[in-house]
Amino acid sequence: MAQAGTIAPAKAGGFGATERKDRWWVGPLATGLGFGAFIVYSTFRAFYNGQYELGMGAMTGPESLKNHSYMISPFYSPLIPLGFLPRALAWVSPALLILWAPAGFRVTCYYYRKAYYRAFFLDPVACTVGEPSSYCGFRRGHDYKGETRLLIFQNLHRYFLYLALLFLVFLAYDVGLACRWPGGFGVSVGSLVMAANVTLLTLYCTSCHSFRHVVGGRRDRFSSTGSGRVAYRLWTIATALNKHHMLWAWLSLFSVGFTDFYIWLVASGTITDIKLI
């Protein structure tokens, strides 16, 4: 017997066939535009290979900024010197050597999977909405086979999490460098932007489903020992953060792009980074 308030699955029909009356297409469209814009921007910056660092000790950038604290874009940190590469690979930037790790973390994220399967592959485009029978010239069946075959790599998510946690250490260290000026400790708008970025990335990582599993998901119940209480506390925090994982995913995505953009503007001399303290 049909339940009141439920919506029947899309009957056989073309793409977009549905009985839904709400604006179901807003979510996939916003995801496609937002995530797509970030992919285009980050790819451009990874190949741009310039104006990603500044200040004391920077290997690149204008001399006029040598009295500034050291700042580096999150796309290029940790910075890997490219001296070992042959000439034929001169087009490779330091960002290209490291971005596979955070990119892999985002691509295999449980939330992003749902979002980009809908936005980019229309599979499904939304609940109870008809799917296209073919995509980019390929016929498509309707049998759900799980994340197997080509999609088996999605199971690597927990390993990408470990790498992402390591990257947080590098980015936090960068914030420390951004606060070390020739005259001693100092805080600028740029260092605050970098600090906000690593904070949002930390919230994104610690709200991860795999992180929640790592800190408390493997046990039937928590013991009352010291370690059990610590695990319970961590699991409680991760659970609270996990409820807003989508929010942290988007805020941290925006902050990474904005931090790179800000450092690009300062390193190129377009704006001056204002020292507050």
User: Taking the complex as a whole, how short is the minimal distance between the CB of residue 217 and ligand FES, in angstroms?
Assistant: 12
Paired residues of 71 in beta bridges: 54
Q: Which two tokens stand for residue 68?
A: 């500034």
Between 109 and 263, name the residue whose CB sits nearer to ligand FES: 109
Nearest-10 Cα torsion for 141, 147, 149, 151: 100
Total chain residues near ligand FES (CB under 6 A): 8
**Distance, C-alpha 177 to centroid of its chain:** 23
Return the closest-CA partner of residue 107 out of 52, 145, 164.
Answer: 164
Tell me, residue by residue from 152 to 181, as one string, x for binding to ligand FES by CB under 6 A and - for no binding. -----x------------------------
Among 178, 179, 245, 257, binds ligand FES (CB under 6 A): 245
Among 95, 109, 122, 238, binds ligand FES (CB under 6 A): 109
Between 68 and 157, name the residue whose CB sits nearer to ligand FES: 157
Among 38, 48, 110, 258, binds ligand FES (CB under 6 A): 110
- Three-state DSSP state, 138: strand
User: Taking the complex as a whole, how short is the minimal distance between the CB of residue 216 and ligand FES, in angstroms?
Assistant: 15
User: Taking the complex as a whole, how short is the minimal distance between the CB of residue 254 and ligand FES, in angstroms?
Assistant: 16
Q: Which residues of 56-95 are buried (b: 16+ CB within 10 A; e: fewer)?
A: eebeebeeebeebbbbbbbbbbebeeeeeeeeeeeeebbb
- Three-state DSSP state, 71: strand
Between 79 and 249, name the residue whose CB sits nearer to ligand FES: 249
Subset of 190-219 contacting ligand FES (CB under 6 A): 208-210
Between 71 and 109, name the residue whose CB sits nearer to ligand FES: 109
Spell out the residues 6+ positions from residue 84 whose beta carbon is closer than 8 angstroms to its own.
none
Between 182 and 217, name the residue whose CB sits nearer to ligand FES: 217
Return the closest-CA partner of residue 240 out of 229, 248, 230.
Answer: 248
Which spans of this chain sit near ligand FES (rule: CB under 6 A)? Answer: 109-111, 157, 208-210, 245
